[in-house]
Amino acid sequence: MQLSVQKLLNRLTLRQLQIFKAVYETSGYSKAADQLGLSQPAVSSQIKLLEEALNVQLFEFVGRKLFVTPAAEMVAESCESIFEQLRKLQNEIHSLEGQVSGDLQITAVNTAQYITPYVLRPFLEQNPAVNVQVSVVNRAKAIERLNRNEGDLVIMGIVPTEKPFSSYPFLDNELIPVMSPQHPLSQLETLGAEEFFGSGVLIRERG
């Protein structure tokens, strides 16, 4: 058994597992190649080497559609464990050096996409080992992600009250009505919310 494992280690690389993971998650060689910045033949070659190292078939085509084999499901599960252990190792090493590291997944609503880079910049300057991923969505999608417990942080204007979310206000978000100088409302000295919203307002999609 030890010899078999040693032989596997001699033929298998983390790069192959990374490419496998991309193919598995995107369900395609071309999409995986785009994601990793590789050519499709390079992806295909690495998958073939991985299949030879494991002596199993990982993917098969039916027509032009890619399907995963039971062996691929097992490899995908092992990949999650392997890469999670590597992330943990990296974080522990950085913690020895007094650094903060790891992945930080942020969801920002559309209106927050313009201030998010300015908020993140000083944090990343102090913690360059942190890998940040920002997804910009509308409010409805942001709430969906909160409910599914996806990501680490959501930047939004109004915090939902139906669940006990923890929130921290860090910036005023002033709403300013905008209208043409020729609009009748622009001649008023004071303007109430009811008058403004009753005058015909351009709004975004639901959510």
Q: Which two tokens stand for residue 52?
A: 């030879």
Same domain, yes or no: 50 and 76: yes
Alpha helices per DSSP H over 165-204: 193-197
Six token digits for residue 117: 């880079």
User: Is the pTM value of this prediction over 0.75?
Assistant: no
Q: Tell whether the torsion through CA atoms of 111, 157, 175 and 183 is positive or negative.
A: positive
Domain count for the chain = 2
- What are all long-range contacts of 98-104, with beta carbons under 8 Å and residues at least 24 apart? 99/127, 99/129, 100/127, 100/129, 100/130, 101/127, 101/129, 101/130, 102/129, 102/130, 102/131, 103/130, 103/131, 103/132, 103/133, 104/130, 104/131, 104/132, 104/133, 104/152, 104/153
Per mean pLDDT, which range of 2-16, 21-35, 176-190 is the poorest? 2-16
Residue 151 is assigned to a structural domain of this protein? yes
What local confidence, expressed as pLDDT, does residue 106 receive?
92
**Residue 104, domain CATH:** 3.40.190.10
Q: Which of 45, 61, 92 is the last residue of a domain?
A: 92
In a domain, 199, yes or no: no
Position 171 confidence tier, pLDDT thresholds 50, 70, 90: confident
Per-residue pLDDT at 2: 45
Which residues constitute the domain of residue 80? 2-92
Per-residue pLDDT of 46-56, as tens digits, reads: 999 999 988 89
Mean pLDDT across the stretch 181-194? 86
Q: Are residues 62 and 106 in the same domain?
A: no
Average pLDDT over residues 123-141: 88
Give the pLDDT score at 164.
80
CATH of the domain at 68: 1.10.10.10
